[in-house]
Amino acid sequence: MSETTQDGKVAVTDRPSPDDGMTAAELAAKYGLSVSGARPGLVEYVRQLWGRRHFIVAFSQAKLTAQYSQAKLGQLWQVATPLLNALVYFLIFGLILNADRGLSREVYIPFLVTGVFVFTFTQSSVMAGVRAVSGNLGLVRALHFPRASLPISFALQQLQQLLFSMIVLFVVAIGFGSYPSLSWLLIVPVLVLQFLFNTGLALIFARAGAKTPDLAQLMPFVMRTWMYASGVMFSIRAMLADHPAWIADVLQWNPAAVYMDLMRFALIDGYGSEHLPPHVWAVACGWAVVVAFGGFVYFWKAEERYGRG
């Protein structure tokens, strides 16, 4: 600071600044500064996500459109791929291995197609979640937005794909004698619960995949094992009739099997409640809430680390 003396000369004097002696944290608090890229609180993070809802929907739709943009059949592959998988499983498990035991042919074919479509929904959500952050590093590093937008948008993309495929699933069910009834209304809560569960899984594996990109190479083997253990191609109860009952209980309570069984129960006339595990709706809600909330919190805790290093 400068002062003028009696002889007209300017003298420079040092006066203490009111900020002297304050730490960086105290200065930041005083002037309203925050750490760049710091993780917001959980409530604020949810608010930011809600503010990006239009981006999440638009991004999922763009990814869905671009997925088969190079194929001549385009979006028809959304339906053709799971249908071809169902055909292969029917030839191997239905005709060769007689995995349809306990189910009539009129029930087994829609049972199998439903299982393939519903499990593919979960499988695709997980696989897309693994690459949600690691496969979009350019976007993550260039723009500031809640990173959870990416795995959520990928799970939403798979839901849209399943909804498109449901048209074919309805045709298959009707073709084998399961006509629309009040039970079909249960499809809506089943899809909502499975979407919540899938979104939680996508968030969990998005964080894991961001830290360990090689996880994307391992997940196909994990998902294939999960598929065989979930009764996609066979009735768990009928197949394990000669084994201790607790084994069938454990397999039927696994979330993939729970959502498949509920969808089959809603859609197929010959698939009654005797095929469902006890308290199946409570189990379905429990899986959805625990995995969705736990996955969201788990992903949020590493928010400031995505795209760095």
pLDDT digits (tens, 9 = 90+) for 187-203: 999 999 999 999 999 99
Q: What's the CA angle centered on 291, arms 148 and 235, to 5 degrees? A: 125
pLDDT tens-digit readout, 270-283: 888 888 888 999 99
Residue 127 has which token pair? 């696989």
Asked whether the predicted pLDDT for residue 143 surpasses 90, the reply is no
Residue 297: both structure tokens together: 């919190």
**pLDDT level of residue 71 (50, 70, 90 thresholds):** low
The CB-side HSE value for 115 (13 A sphere, CA atoms) comes to: 27
| Higher pLDDT, residue 71 or 280 | 280
Task: Quote the tokens at residue 43.
Answer: 């409530």
Residue 244 has pLDDT above 70, yes or no: yes
Q: How confident is the model over 76-98, as a mean pLDDT?
A: 76
Higher pLDDT residue, 33 or 144? 144
Supply the pTM of this predicted model.
0.84
Q: What gap in Å lies between CA 93 and CA 112, rounded to an integer?
A: 10
